[in-house]
Amino acid sequence: MKIKNLKKMENKKAVSEMVAYVLLVVISISLAIIVYAWLSKYIRVTPTPECPDSVALSVEDYVCYDDNQTLLLRVKNKGFFNISGYDIWGTSNTSKEALTSLRYEVSASGMPKGRYYFEIFSKSPTFGNGTLGPGRIDSKIHLFYYDDFPTNHLEKIKIQPFVVIKDREAMCDKAIIPMEVSCNGGSMAVIPRVPRGRGVGESCLEDTDCESGSCALAGSSDYKCEEGAARLPTERGCWLWWWC
């Protein structure tokens, strides 16, 4: 009888310990959930946006001059996603990575050096929501300076586009453009436009749609080709575009 009673007591003790362990685990999990719910109200971790794989920017035309350290270029969205802007770097040595930011012709407060925003600097009917749409060419020529280079010479540039997703910028690491350039001595010149044959008065989306090379606002929201070739302000004797 004593042996049976001892076995019953041992069994009860084992069950009690098991119940205690289970209760301890349940209480720990409950406390963890309560603490997490409380902290989540004060600490919100926003995931870093990722650039879509379909982003692709290309340089359609460029010209650069070492005499006044200027680079002019036109870009095109060759991908399937709206592009918000890009960063540009340069170097005077092709064997090295382009790490020195080029300076855009207009400086804006708080804007990183070498950054171009389509929404701020480009005013064209080819844009929607401040972006360069898929398949579109920015009709504006982008002017950058590399006058802080030690040798005043440019041999290579690197361009990295970025997009804005939910009010946050996402840099496109897979869409970086490394490009060697050949600069000439002299002053700035006009980058030739390729007309697409639309006549005066016909609807257009960008300057290159028109035979005249000039697409202008004809109403509240309609753009039509107008007479006269579109030219860089430098062709008219202007040095800085916003003075013309």
Side-chain-facing half-sphere of 221: CA atoms under 13 Å:
2
Is 233's pLDDT higher than 90?
Answer: no
Q: What would the two tokens of residue 143 be?
A: 């002017």
Pairwise CA distance, residues 77 & 131, whole Å: 10
Pairwise CA distance, residues 183 & 71, whole Å: 9
Q: Give the pTM.
A: 0.60
pLDDT, one tens digit per residue, over 65-82 is 888 889 998 899 999 999
Residue partners of 209: CB distance under 8 A and separation at least 6: 196, 198, 215, 225
Residue partners of 131: CB distance under 8 A and separation at least 6: 82, 83, 84, 118, 119, 163, 164
Pairwise CA distance, residues 162 & 131, whole Å: 10
Whose tokens are 């006058």? That residue is 147
3-state SS class at 30: helix
- Determine which helix (DSSP H) or strand (DSSP E) holds 49, and give its type and residue range: none
pLDDT band at 242 (very low <50, low <70, confident <90, very high): very low
pLDDT, one tens digit per residue, over 120-176 is 776 544 455 678 888 888 877 888 999 888 788 899 999 999 998 888 889 999 999
Nearest Cα to 73, choosing from 167, 168, 137? Answer: 137
CATH of 57-193, one of 2.40.10, 2.60.40, 2.60.120, 2.50.20: 2.60.40
Q: What pLDDT shows up at residue 232?
A: 38
Q: What would the two tokens of residue 179 be?
A: 């490009």
pLDDT, one tens digit per residue, over 78-115 is 999 999 999 999 998 888 888 899 988 876 656 778 89
194 compared with 227, residue with greater pLDDT: 227
